[in-house]
Amino acid sequence: MLAPSFRSWKPACVSLVVAASVIFSGLAPRSVHAKEPLDRVRRLLEAEGCSRHALSVLFSSAESPAYGNVALSMKIRETALNYEAFLDPSSLAKAEQFWRLHDETLHRIGAAYEVDPSIIVAILLVESALGERTGNHPVATTLATFALMLDPDERERVWGMLSAQDRARWARDRFHARLERRASWALNELRALVTLIDRGMPEAAQWRGSYMAAVGWPQFLPSSLLHYGADGDGDGTVDLNRPEDAFASIAKYLKSHGWRNDAVPEQQEKVVLKYNNSRPYARTVLEAARRLRDLRIAEHKKTSTSTPAQALFPDPSS
């Protein structure tokens, strides 16, 4: 039985939008201490009523603000990324080998959630190269730096880091609007981290992940882990760097968003878009899954021995 550890949750802090304007207005001159800007985010969360203990754990290992990650997020256009590489024969062969290595677990978890193993493997292939690339950016620091973008001065600092080409593409107003929304997103993810720490996952403060704060094999954001993290190996915890927990969490996520193995491709694409809102991503994942199933069928035909009946009555067409 797959028992998700975080079946239901309440946020650990209550969002008070007004607090942001209080904390981020009338700012003192910039401190010489590199970490000081992140303390403002901490104070904001404290003003919201987040647990002081969890916040002190969360910010205990905060590093200098990760402005570079914020700038990077305003440069990259995901649709331009080369998703084709994931459909290379060598890439698919590696994924098929991975599937075979974890066949029993994938079969068990796939059956429990009614999610075909091919889609789980395809997502892992694209998200983290099958668990090999999970990122080394400090998650708490990254999110706190994004949250700092509530402050127009901090957004201007990032604006100054962009190339003339990137600036021309954004235009200043759109740039500010986008980063402000991203700051709210990051605050919400920080609240999820606080909740996780409150629930006995202090290690969440140390997590490392992508430059956008996605963690583990499935590249989940903290809020996704809270909602959809699943304990696939039954040890009572959710560790997204363990295969069983990663498989179960992806399956739970897809199932919760309406995945059905027998749905039409357009419907399945809609579900995969909930995982990552990029059409090239969703199409690559679904195509990789389809080709992986074909590879498995071909492999099965190659390795299955003839039954006595087949030996006695060979297929006349062969």
Nearer Cβ to Ca ion (37/243): 243
> CB 1 → Ca ion: shortest distance, Å?
13
> CB 3 → Ca ion: shortest distance, Å?
9
Q: Which residue has the tokens 């990077």?
A: 72
Beta partners for residue 209, in sequence order: 137
The Cβ of residue 214 has, within 10 Å, a number of other Cβ atoms equal to 24
Total interface residues for Ca ion by CB under 5 A:
4
Report CA torsion sign: 33, 23, 10, 277.
negative
- In this chain, which stretch among 42-50, 113-121, 226-234, 292-300 interacts with Ca ion, using CB under 5 A? 226-234
Nearer Cβ to Ca ion (86/207): 207
* Contact assessment for residue 103 and residue 242, using Cβ atoms and an 8 Å cutoff: no
Nearer Cβ to Ca ion (6/211): 6
Beta partners for residue 137, in sequence order: 209
Binding track, positions 89-108, relative to Ca ion; x by CB under 5 A: --------------------
Nearer Cβ to Ca ion (166/233): 233
Q: Which of residues 230-259 bind Ca ion (CB under 5 A)?
A: 231, 233, 235, 245
Nearer Cβ to Ca ion (24/253): 253
Structure tokens at 310: 């087949």
Nearer Cβ to Ca ion (219/249): 249
> CB 283 → Ca ion: shortest distance, Å?
31
> CB 231 → Ca ion: shortest distance, Å?
4
Q: Which of residues 36-65 bind Ca ion (CB under 5 A)?
A: none
Nearer Cβ to Ca ion (73/105): 105
Binding track, positions 183-222, relative to Ca ion; x by CB under 5 A: ----------------------------------------
> CB 239 → Ca ion: shortest distance, Å?
5
* Contact assessment for residue 105 and residue 251, using Cβ atoms and an 8 Å cutoff: no
299 near Ca ion (CB under 5 A): no
> CB 244 → Ca ion: shortest distance, Å?
6
Q: Which residues bind Ca ion (CB under 5 A)?
A: 231, 233, 235, 245
